[in-house]
A and B are shown apart, each in its own frame.
Chain A
Amino acid sequence: MDTIDRGNDPDFVWPYEDTSRVPFQVYTDEELYRVEQKKVFQGNVWNFLCLECEIPEPGDYKTTYAGDTPIIAVRDEAGNINAMVNRCAHKGSLVCYKPRGNVKELACVYHNWVYDLRGNLTAVAFRRGVGGKGGLTDEFKNSEHGLQRLRVEVFRGLVFGTFSEKTEPVADYLGDELVSAVDRVLIKPLKVLGYYSQIFKNNWKLYVENNKDSYHASLLHVFHNTFGVVRPNMGGGIKISDSGWHHLSYTERTDISDDEIVKENVRSKQDAYSLEDPTLMEHKLELGDNVTNNIQTIFPTLVIQQILNCLAVRQLIPKGVNESELIWTILGFEDDDEEMIQHRVSTNNLVGPAGFISMEDGAVGAWVQRAAKSDREALTVMPMGGRAIEPSQGSRVTEAAVRGFWKGWRECMEI
């Protein structure tokens, strides 16, 4: 039954010589979706699970997902973070059905099977039956019925989990370029400033592509142009990990003054509008450079975002072949003062489902999904920047990082 466990779809063949063409089928095929859960999310990848600061104390847990598999991330008595599939070894019920909490042990309420904070089964209700009748026989070994464990690595405050023994350490998985990118943003202990989520009526991969597609930014999101928010001498580009799997794009201001707080040059152009209150465009330089926007994508579904002073991680969760959910966790640093927190709240108007420069991303994926479903063999075309998967400096008009994502997807899927 290799097709079921390994999930190969024998009918699917990649229809083109490289990843500059993608068939619509990958967004609409139920079978491929099922295979992805096994071979991408439960394969040799690191899934982002939560932030270390969300479960600071022993016994703190948070429920999360890896792909569409429910996961418990929990800190044990020794301070280590463990991750287990949130599914009782007995009948498969969710063990934790609250979003977060603090516990001494993990007890499934259905039949009171109890696990320690590492997922080992420690007790079974009515193990010896009642009055000598019923209960377990000697052949039942607790040690064979723990929760399914993931390997966990905490990297710069981000908690990652993998189902595979083969996944290399996170730093190697990311590669040098992405490691320095993460280090650039997550410079201090973090604190969560808030959450929200966004439902996309589209396959999860369309949102991943959207993030890796720096070509669309100034075309779809016209807020900057409409308001004549002119950015003098903006540089930028994209970088791609050697594997092709991860990427970062950045925009840089090159003529910056030494002022700690630099106001965007907001002015009205002819036929354009002006912002009456540009507070949300203020950038308090805090990361030691002039980079105003930095989007990092970590395969398969994590985005780390710095847009001015709005810091966030975005975790994408597939919800069936036609739907996905993006959980935004908005961040500050532990040492932010009240003024900085309020500034981050203000800047946050730019992003999220109601964000001036990001709301459109919720709509375009659904438009592709609706148009794609009737023609599974038809191909999308991604020729920007040639066919290669290589970095670009000075321009973000390239689809190289999207081609890199499909390279990673094909490698995982063995397609």
Chain B
Amino acid sequence: MALIPSQLDDEVSLRPRIDALNANYVHTIDDDRLEDWPNFFTADGEYSISTRENHEMGLPICLVQCKGTGMFRDRITALRQANIYEPHTYCHSVSALHISSASQGVIATKSNFTLVRTMSEGQMMLFAAGRYMDKIIDYNGELKFAERRVILESRRIDTLLVIPI
């Protein structure tokens, strides 16, 4: 499905804007500005973390699913106020962007990520790798995720997953 220039900016002008969105997203998480994380999504936006196994088998279960701003904020409030875990930080790297399609104002994109987690005592590991599968819209001149599906390569989570990916 090719990009349709008549409906949107052509890919040349779109690509740097989406790259900036992705960069901003991962740095917001890596810099622990998690209260800003819900703002990357539309008010009824959806975020989920699932696995390649579930995705390929067509199974609906996700490790995390947020639908609508309230659930995003609840995730962050729980992380800050309720859940107990050893302090750790994320370092995301995001691959070049693949624009799958763009129609009726919705841009579908894919990019890969790797995520290194570092614990407070210094242990460092490749915590996750996978794909972002996104539906992005232009919301008053600002790009936002209407949907961001995180598909993990592995079904295995080391210990726990509390910070969003």
With the chains together, A348 CA to B66 CA distance in Å?
A: 11
With the chains together, A341 CA to B65 CA distance in Å?
A: 13
Q: Is the CB of A360 within 8 A of B85?
A: yes
B1 at the interface (CB under 8 A from A): no
Q: Is the CB of A194 within 8 A of B62?
A: yes
A325 at the interface (CB under 8 A from B): yes
Which of B59, B69, B71 is the one whose CB lies under 8 Å from A279?
Answer: B71
Interface-centre pick from A196, A346, A349 (highest chain B CB count, 10 A): A196
Show the binding face of B for A, using Cβ within 8 Å: 49-51, 53-54, 59-65, 67-71, 73-74, 77-78, 81-86, 155-162
Q: List 15 A-B contacts (CB under 8 A).
A: A193-B61, A195-B61, A197-B155, A220-B84, A223-B82, A225-B82, A276-B70, A277-B70, A345-B61, A345-B62, A346-B65, A349-B65, A353-B160, A354-B162, A360-B160
Show the binding face of A for B, using Cβ within 8 Å: 192-201, 220, 222-223, 225-227, 273, 275-277, 279-280, 325, 330, 341-342, 344-346, 348-349, 352-354, 356, 359-360, 362-363, 366
Chain B residues whose C-beta falls within 8 Å of the C-beta of A195 in the assembled complex: 51, 53-54, 59, 61, 155
Which of A275, A345, A349, A363 is the one whose CB lies under 8 Å from B84?
Answer: A363
With the chains together, A43 CA to B64 CA distance in Å?
A: 38
Give 9 A-B pairs besides A192-B59, A277-B71 with Cβ atoms closer than 8 angstroms.
A194-B51, A194-B62, A195-B51, A197-B155, A198-B159, A201-B159, A226-B82, A273-B82, A362-B159
Chain A residues whose C-beta falls within 8 Å of the C-beta of B61 in the assembled complex: 193-196, 330, 344-345, 348
Chain B residues whose C-beta falls within 8 Å of the C-beta of A356 in the assembled complex: 78, 82-83
With the chains together, A341 CA to B107 CA distance in Å?
A: 28
Interface-centre pick from A226, A273, A359, A366 (highest chain B CB count, 10 A): A359
Give the distance to chain B from A10, nearest Cβ to Cβ, in Å: 35
Give the distance to chain A from B91, nearest Cβ to Cβ, in Å: 19
Chain B residues whose C-beta falls within 8 Å of the C-beta of A198 in the assembled complex: 156-157, 159-160
Q: Is the CB of B159 within 8 A of A222?
A: no
Q: A197-B157, A200-B159, A354-B160 are in contact. Are A359 and B85 (CB under 8 A)?
A: yes
Q: Is the CB of A354 within 8 A of B159?
A: no
Interface-centre pick from A192, A222, A349 (highest chain B CB count, 10 A): A349
Give the distance to chain B from A68, nearest Cβ to Cβ, in Å: 16
Q: Is the CB of B74 within 8 A of A196?
A: no
Q: A276-B70, A366-B159 are in contact. Are A345 and B65 (CB under 8 A)?
A: yes
Q: Is the CB of B68 within 8 A of A277?
A: yes
Q: Is the CB of B160 within 8 A of A348?
A: no
Give the distance to chain B from A243, nearest Cβ to Cβ, in Å: 32
With the chains together, A360 CA to B53 CA distance in Å?
A: 25
Q: Is the CB of A362 within 8 A of B160?
A: yes
Chain A residues whose C-beta falls within 8 Å of the C-beta of B50 in the assembled complex: 194
Chain B residues whose C-beta falls within 8 Å of the C-beta of A325 in the assembled complex: 156
Q: Is the CB of B85 within 8 A of A196?
A: no
Chain A residues whose C-beta falls within 8 Å of the C-beta of B54 in the assembled complex: 194-196
Q: Is the CB of A359 within 8 A of B156?
A: no
Q: A196-B157, A345-B62 are in contact. Are A363 and B77 (CB under 8 A)?
A: no
Interface-centre pick from A200, A201, A275 (highest chain B CB count, 10 A): A275
Chain A residues whose C-beta falls within 8 Å of the C-beta of B86 in the assembled complex: 363
Which of A194, A199, A277, A330 is the one whose CB lies under 8 Å from B159?
Answer: A199
Give the distance to chain A from B55, nearest Cβ to Cβ, in Å: 10
With the chains together, A344 CA to B62 CA distance in Å?
A: 10
With the chains together, A353 CA to B69 CA distance in Å?
A: 22
Give the distance to chain B from A57, nearest Cβ to Cβ, in Å: 16
Chain B residues whose C-beta falls within 8 Å of the C-beta of A344 in the assembled complex: 61
Give the distance to chain B from A325, nearest Cβ to Cβ, in Å: 7
Chain B residues whose C-beta falls within 8 Å of the C-beta of A341 in the assembled complex: 60
Chain A residues whose C-beta falls within 8 Å of the C-beta of B67 in the assembled complex: 279, 346
Q: A194-B59, A345-B61 are in contact. Are A353 and B82 (CB under 8 A)?
A: no
With the chains together, A220 CA to B69 CA distance in Å?
A: 27
Which of B59, B81, B85, B159 is the one whose CB lies under 8 Å from A193?
Answer: B59
Give the distance to chain B from A202, nearest Cβ to Cβ, in Å: 10
Chain B residues whose C-beta falls within 8 Å of the C-beta of A220 in the assembled complex: 84
Q: A279-B71, A325-B156, A345-B62 are in contact. Are A273 and B81 (CB under 8 A)?
A: yes
With the chains together, A354 CA to B162 CA distance in Å?
A: 6
Give the distance to chain B from A56, nearest Cβ to Cβ, in Å: 14
Q: Is the CB of B84 within 8 A of A360?
A: yes
Chain A residues whose C-beta falls within 8 Å of the C-beta of B83 in the assembled complex: 223, 356, 359-360
With the chains together, A353 CA to B83 CA distance in Å?
A: 12
Q: Is the CB of A352 within 8 A of B156?
A: no
